[in-house]
Structure 1
């Protein structure tokens, strides 16, 4: 209950300011246009959706330290596939799961298409190895596969160094270089590694990451972890509070997981859309370093979310990693949407700002208030567009190329 009250308090403590444009940009401004052809007359209103696909709740979940259980258990559980059976690693820890075949956990895009739950990986480049076969950390190819499936990869420092004498700048930049050289992309969000260190060492990591043009830092203290996002959000050098979901010593029931889920229930019940961000470490059968979720707990937790708020429930959940949600809100707050209606035809113009070159996601959802069914007419090759104009006629999704 104390945790719930803390989250609710933080929920109302978020302020909204403009983002300082101090990053590298690679996508020039552009203007895109299309027409809406209404089936019947009636006033239409078009606004940017607070969250992608008009969802009510964005939930971002990150796995710290790049442990192999992410690939063996979490990845196949969420996307669908064979979950690893028990798998003992080099540390004599079981990073496997129950060996079952998962059908996947999904939400929908508002058009009937299922999208698998996706998480983020906070990784240390120095830990990614291919041998031994019972290694405890992920390999480069495993991270590549998960990244290509839409999981985000966040900078967690190169060596996970925290002790006295750490060179915080090189820990940030060496990890950036390592991922760029091996996986050919540039990370844009940083997660402070936990551990034994000098007082307030996390502030040194925060300073160096932001100075190195990282958009946000997850740290010990900061804003959130619940964000009220129905108005402009302060994303300028964002430092977010990091909270964890962890298994307890009780293995006889899911009472501990139910407490975490109760907190989510209380957040989702808020009137306005929200973004919530949480972490854990491993997701194998062993509670790794007592800072992780045992696989049965992780499976129960994620499956419950899917059944309540995903495709099998009320479908109000956007289960997307930190970078994906951040980039949507950043772009949402900077576009300008204009429309002009003449009888049954609506001309829509969207002004797109210059977009940072490290962005993976350039998508905008539009909420449509119309009593009429409609069709989209577009001849522009700079974007793709989908709508539910022939069904609930409430949603348009624009993917910018």
Structure 2
């Protein structure tokens, strides 16, 4: 038998859909539909197709969230990961340094497996009531800063409008008012909730969980729940998911990276698992000061993220899919609901994928398929399909973008 190789077919499904001569795409992306396409092989060897557990067939999906919408996310974390000028020391209105080291970052990346690099992306859990433009040394993000990060692929999660937790909190209003605030200012609907921490009535977080799930959110990160490590080699129960939230934080020791090394050791142990997994973590600020003693100082944050990139990103074994919570959730949700069929006749393969009705609030409608074949190939389609592949060289992947 010739050695089998892995072919990943990555399908990006978004926007309106048009019909094309080599298959069928029904209109209206939120409704059930069927797509199909043809693969022409160089040989008649049998082909096997299966859905990839994770996007790009990665081994580790790692989601990292910054709580409370602090400005250090924009001043330090965003330019470090996405590439750009990291802020110098920046003392905010609370006399806390939310800046970084003033260097220029080239960005931290993993690849899609086809020679294209993708920057590490995080999520922001924000409180709409705290977002503002003044004073100039404000501690929280502005709407334009959040929009810039969102447009770069960072996800925005609901964290309550006022970050209220104390006795007398109207939990439903906190959830829904924050949703409305983001809709009005940023023109999208949040669909995942992060319970704010703080003083409150006993088990107040249960009220937040209930109101979030009852008011349009698909999942909640809370004090207790599933995870934070999820096995994804089989169907994942995402129905009204409540996930345990764990934090990465600096210690009092400012002279070494020993604390970060402990967190990195945990990830090392997760990566060594045989089957693919999804791991989810949180912190607050990423500036030079350990904000509220619940954050990561920038030098440690830079060391932590750079080490991840060097080990598991483009410069390492490239096994990581560094994507925020919502992006990973939506991939797994769709992955578990599609139906894939393929028919091979000699050197031609017709692939048919039945898609479910996709919630309108989904931001990502992507799916990856693994195909085992020993043959080089080419894709047959018309101008309505944007397709990239390496079928004539390493014949491992195809990228299909449906308009």
Q: TM-score, normalised by structure 2?
A: 0.91
Counterparts of 1:2-401 in structure 2, within 5 Å, are 27-379=30-382, 381=384, 384-401=386-403
CA distance in 2 between counterparts of 1:322 and 1:257 reads 21
Query: What do residues 224-274 of structure 1 show as CA deviations (whole Å, max 9, x unaligned)?
Result: 000000111000000000000000011111000000000000000000000
C-alpha displacement at 1:344, in angstroms? 0.9
Query: What do residues 286-345 of structure 1 show as CA deviations (whole Å, max 9, x unaligned)?
Result: 000000000000000000000000000000000000000000000111111111111111
CA distance in 2 between counterparts of 1:26 and 1:141 reads 29
CA distance in 2 between counterparts of 1:217 and 1:400 reads 31
Instruction: Report SS of the residue matched to 2:63.
Output: strand
CA distance in 2 between counterparts of 1:343 and 1:288 reads 63
CA distance in 2 between counterparts of 1:308 and 1:391 reads 27
Unaligned runs of 5+ in 2: 1-27
C-alpha displacement at 1:400, in angstroms? 4.5
C-alpha displacement at 1:384, in angstroms? 4.1
C-alpha contact 1:84 1:97 (8 A) present in aligned 2: yes
Query: What do residues 83-124 of structure 1 show as CA deviations (whole Å, max 9, x unaligned)?
Result: 000000000000000000000000001110000000000000
C-alpha displacement at 1:388, in angstroms? 3.3
Instruction: Report SS of the residue matched to 1:285.
Output: coil
C-alpha displacement at 1:364, in angstroms? 1.0
Instruction: Report SS of the residue matched to 1:340.
Output: strand
CA distance in 1 between counterparts of 2:46 and 2:145 reads 51
Q: TM-score, normalised by structure 1?
A: 0.92
Instruction: Report SS of the residue matched to 2:317.
Output: coil
Unaligned runs of 5+ in 1: 1-24
